[in-house]
Homo-oligomer: A and B are copies of this chain.
Protein backbone atom coordinates (compact mmCIF):
# COMPACT_ATOMS: atom_id res chain seq x y z
CA UNK A 1 0.00 0.00 0.00
CA UNK A 2 1.88 2.98 -1.24
CA UNK A 3 -0.35 5.23 0.82
CA UNK A 4 0.80 8.79 1.32
CA UNK A 5 1.82 9.65 4.87
CA UNK A 6 -0.37 11.25 7.48
CA UNK A 7 1.07 14.65 6.69
CA UNK A 8 0.14 14.43 3.03
CA UNK A 9 -3.36 13.19 3.81
CA UNK A 10 -3.91 16.01 6.26
CA UNK A 11 -2.82 18.60 3.74
CA UNK A 12 -5.09 17.17 1.11
CA UNK A 13 -7.95 17.26 3.57
CA UNK A 14 -7.51 20.89 4.63
CA UNK A 15 -7.09 21.89 1.02
CA UNK A 16 -10.42 20.38 0.04
CA UNK A 17 -12.02 21.76 3.21
CA UNK A 18 -10.84 25.24 2.30
CA UNK A 19 -12.21 24.91 -1.23
CA UNK A 20 -15.60 23.68 -0.05
CA UNK A 21 -15.89 26.24 2.71
CA UNK A 22 -14.95 28.99 0.28
CA UNK A 23 -17.40 27.82 -2.37
CA UNK A 24 -20.21 27.67 0.18
CA UNK A 25 -19.45 31.10 1.58
CA UNK A 26 -19.14 32.58 -1.90
CA UNK A 27 -22.51 31.11 -2.87
CA UNK A 28 -24.12 32.35 0.32
CA UNK A 29 -22.84 35.92 0.50
CA UNK A 30 -21.00 36.53 -2.75
CA UNK A 31 -17.33 36.39 -3.70
CA UNK A 32 -16.33 39.94 -2.89
CA UNK A 33 -18.25 40.06 0.35
CA UNK A 34 -16.46 36.98 1.65
CA UNK A 35 -13.13 37.57 3.37
CA UNK A 36 -10.25 35.17 3.53
CA UNK A 37 -10.49 35.39 7.30
CA UNK A 38 -13.99 33.97 7.13
CA UNK A 39 -12.89 31.08 4.97
CA UNK A 40 -9.98 30.32 7.25
CA UNK A 41 -12.18 30.56 10.33
CA UNK A 42 -14.70 28.15 8.80
CA UNK A 43 -11.95 25.52 8.52
CA UNK A 44 -10.39 26.50 11.86
CA UNK A 45 -7.14 27.57 10.31
CA UNK A 46 -5.18 30.79 10.53
CA UNK A 47 -5.55 33.23 7.61
CA UNK A 48 -1.83 32.96 7.01
CA UNK A 49 -2.22 29.24 6.45
CA UNK A 50 -4.87 29.87 3.82
CA UNK A 51 -2.28 31.69 1.74
CA UNK A 52 0.08 28.78 2.10
CA UNK A 53 -2.47 26.65 0.25
CA UNK A 54 -3.69 29.22 -2.26
CA UNK A 55 -1.71 32.11 -3.62
CA UNK A 56 -4.79 34.30 -3.95
CA UNK A 57 -8.45 34.33 -3.02
CA UNK A 58 -9.16 33.81 -6.70
CA UNK A 59 -7.17 30.59 -6.68
CA UNK A 60 -9.41 28.87 -4.18
CA UNK A 61 -12.44 29.78 -6.24
CA UNK A 62 -11.03 28.56 -9.55
CA UNK A 63 -9.17 25.46 -8.47
CA UNK A 64 -11.80 23.12 -9.84
CA UNK A 65 -11.93 24.06 -13.55
CA UNK A 66 -8.16 23.81 -13.67
CA UNK A 67 -8.49 20.07 -13.26
CA UNK A 68 -10.91 19.98 -16.17
CA UNK A 69 -8.33 21.64 -18.37
CA UNK A 70 -5.78 19.03 -17.39
CA UNK A 71 -8.19 16.29 -18.43
CA UNK A 72 -8.83 18.04 -21.70
CA UNK A 73 -5.14 18.24 -22.52
CA UNK A 74 -4.53 14.62 -21.60
CA UNK A 75 -7.42 13.49 -23.77
CA UNK A 76 -6.19 15.54 -26.68
CA UNK A 77 -2.79 13.96 -26.46
CA UNK A 78 -4.45 10.54 -26.52
CA UNK A 79 -6.43 11.14 -29.72
CA UNK A 80 -5.20 9.27 -32.80
CA UNK A 81 -2.88 11.26 -35.02
CA UNK A 82 -5.05 10.84 -38.13
CA UNK A 83 -7.78 13.03 -36.68
CA UNK A 84 -7.73 16.60 -37.95
CA UNK A 85 -7.12 19.17 -35.18
CA UNK A 86 -10.66 20.41 -34.82
CA UNK A 87 -12.09 16.89 -34.68
CA UNK A 88 -9.55 15.87 -32.05
CA UNK A 89 -10.32 18.96 -29.99
CA UNK A 90 -14.03 18.18 -30.20
CA UNK A 91 -13.49 14.63 -28.98
CA UNK A 92 -11.26 15.81 -26.15
CA UNK A 93 -13.97 18.17 -25.00
CA UNK A 94 -16.58 15.43 -25.17
CA UNK A 95 -14.32 13.37 -22.95
CA UNK A 96 -14.28 16.14 -20.37
CA UNK A 97 -18.06 16.34 -20.35
CA UNK A 98 -18.48 12.61 -19.94
CA UNK A 99 -15.84 12.59 -17.22
CA UNK A 100 -17.94 15.21 -15.50
CA UNK A 101 -21.06 13.11 -15.87
CA UNK A 102 -19.54 9.84 -14.74
CA UNK A 103 -16.93 11.07 -12.31
CA UNK A 104 -16.99 11.76 -8.60
CA UNK A 105 -20.19 13.52 -7.63
CA UNK A 106 -18.63 15.88 -5.11
CA UNK A 107 -16.08 16.93 -7.68
CA UNK A 108 -18.75 17.54 -10.30
CA UNK A 109 -20.66 19.57 -7.74
CA UNK A 110 -17.58 21.70 -7.12
CA UNK A 111 -17.21 22.28 -10.83
CA UNK A 112 -20.83 23.37 -11.28
CA UNK A 113 -20.74 25.61 -8.23
CA UNK A 114 -17.65 27.26 -9.61
CA UNK A 115 -19.26 27.81 -13.01
CA UNK A 116 -22.22 29.57 -11.45
CA UNK A 117 -19.94 31.71 -9.35
CA UNK A 118 -17.76 32.67 -12.29
CA UNK A 119 -20.78 33.71 -14.31
CA UNK A 120 -22.01 36.07 -11.64
CA UNK A 121 -18.66 37.56 -10.61
CA UNK A 122 -16.80 39.73 -13.14
CA UNK A 123 -13.51 39.50 -11.28
CA UNK A 124 -13.66 35.72 -11.32
CA UNK A 125 -14.76 35.74 -14.93
CA UNK A 126 -11.61 37.58 -15.89
CA UNK A 127 -9.46 35.17 -13.94
CA UNK A 128 -11.21 32.22 -15.50
CA UNK A 129 -10.57 33.57 -18.98
CA UNK A 130 -6.96 34.15 -18.15
CA UNK A 131 -6.47 30.55 -17.12
CA UNK A 132 -8.30 29.40 -20.21
CA UNK A 133 -5.86 31.38 -22.34
CA UNK A 134 -2.82 30.08 -20.59
CA UNK A 135 -4.19 26.66 -21.37
CA UNK A 136 -4.67 27.66 -24.99
CA UNK A 137 -0.95 27.92 -25.40
CA UNK A 138 -0.57 24.31 -24.37
CA UNK A 139 -3.33 23.22 -26.71
CA UNK A 140 -1.66 25.08 -29.57
CA UNK A 141 1.63 23.40 -28.83
CA UNK A 142 -0.04 20.01 -28.81
CA UNK A 143 -1.82 20.64 -32.11
CA UNK A 144 1.39 21.88 -33.67
CA UNK A 145 3.10 18.71 -32.49
CA UNK A 146 0.36 16.52 -33.94
CA UNK A 147 0.49 18.30 -37.28
CA UNK A 148 4.27 18.52 -37.31
CA UNK A 149 4.27 22.26 -37.82
CA UNK A 150 5.75 25.07 -35.81
CA UNK A 151 3.77 26.50 -32.88
CA UNK A 152 4.25 29.82 -34.64
CA UNK A 153 2.28 28.61 -37.63
CA UNK A 154 -0.97 30.50 -37.85
CA UNK A 155 -3.04 27.38 -38.35
CA UNK A 156 -2.79 25.83 -34.87
CA UNK A 157 -3.46 29.26 -33.41
CA UNK A 158 -6.50 29.71 -35.56
CA UNK A 159 -7.83 26.21 -34.94
CA UNK A 160 -7.50 26.42 -31.17
CA UNK A 161 -8.77 29.97 -31.06
CA UNK A 162 -11.82 28.96 -33.04
CA UNK A 163 -12.32 25.97 -30.80
CA UNK A 164 -12.29 28.05 -27.62
CA UNK A 165 -14.73 30.35 -29.32
CA UNK A 166 -17.07 27.40 -29.74
CA UNK A 167 -16.60 26.33 -26.13
CA UNK A 168 -17.31 29.83 -24.91
CA UNK A 169 -20.48 30.13 -26.94
CA UNK A 170 -21.48 26.82 -25.40
CA UNK A 171 -21.06 28.06 -21.86
CA UNK A 172 -22.69 31.37 -22.64
CA UNK A 173 -25.78 29.82 -24.16
CA UNK A 174 -26.27 26.99 -21.67
CA UNK A 175 -25.78 27.21 -17.93
CA UNK A 176 -25.75 23.79 -16.26
CA UNK A 177 -26.61 24.07 -12.58
CA UNK A 178 -26.90 20.48 -11.48
CA UNK A 179 -25.54 17.17 -12.75
CA UNK A 180 -28.89 16.54 -14.43
CA UNK A 181 -28.30 19.49 -16.71
CA UNK A 182 -25.11 17.98 -18.06
CA UNK A 183 -26.71 15.91 -20.85
CA UNK A 184 -28.49 19.00 -22.16
CA UNK A 185 -25.23 20.86 -21.98
CA UNK A 186 -23.51 18.13 -23.95
CA UNK A 187 -26.21 18.35 -26.60
CA UNK A 188 -25.80 22.09 -26.79
CA UNK A 189 -22.11 21.63 -27.40
CA UNK A 190 -22.84 19.15 -30.17
CA UNK A 191 -25.18 21.67 -31.70
CA UNK A 192 -22.51 24.36 -31.79
CA UNK A 193 -19.83 22.00 -33.00
CA UNK A 194 -22.20 21.05 -35.81
CA UNK A 195 -22.80 24.70 -36.60
CA UNK A 196 -19.06 25.25 -36.74
CA UNK A 197 -18.49 22.24 -38.94
CA UNK A 198 -21.30 23.33 -41.24
CA UNK A 199 -19.70 26.77 -41.52
CA UNK A 200 -16.23 25.56 -42.34
CA UNK A 201 -14.74 24.13 -45.47
CA UNK A 202 -13.67 20.48 -45.17
CA UNK A 203 -9.97 20.18 -44.55
CA UNK A 204 -9.59 23.77 -43.42
CA UNK A 205 -7.68 22.76 -40.31
CA UNK A 206 -4.95 20.85 -42.08
CA UNK A 207 -1.75 22.66 -43.08
CA UNK A 208 -1.29 23.34 -46.77
CA UNK A 209 1.74 24.46 -48.74
CA UNK A 210 3.36 26.07 -45.71
CA UNK A 211 2.15 29.49 -46.78
CA UNK A 212 0.86 30.72 -43.47
CA UNK A 213 3.99 30.56 -41.41
CA UNK A 214 4.60 33.42 -39.04
CA UNK A 215 7.53 34.35 -36.91
CA UNK A 216 6.87 35.43 -33.34
CA UNK A 217 7.48 39.04 -32.43
CA UNK A 218 7.37 40.07 -36.08
- Residues in chain A within 8 A of chain B (CB atoms): 122, 125-127, 129-130, 133, 152, 154-155, 157-158, 161-162, 164-166, 168-169, 172-175, 184, 188, 191-192, 195-196, 198-201, 204-205, 212, 214, 216-218
A152: B residues at CB distance < 8 A: 173
A184: B residues at CB distance < 8 A: 218
Please give the count of copies of this chain that the complex contains. Answer: 2
Contact present for B192 and A169 (CB under 8 Å): no
Question: Which residue among A122, A173, A205, A212 has the maximum number of chain B CB atoms within 10 Å of its CB?
Answer: A173
A205: B residues at CB distance < 8 A: 199
A125: B residues at CB distance < 8 A: 130, 133
Q: When chains A and B are docked, how far (Å) is the Cα of A127 from the Cα of B88?
A: 30
Q: When chains A and B are docked, how far (Å) is the Cα of A129 from the Cα of B128?
A: 10
The 3 closest A-B pairs by CB, nearest first: A126-B130, A199-B204, A161-B165
CB closest residue in chain B, given A214? B173
Contact present for A154 and B191 (CB under 8 Å): yes
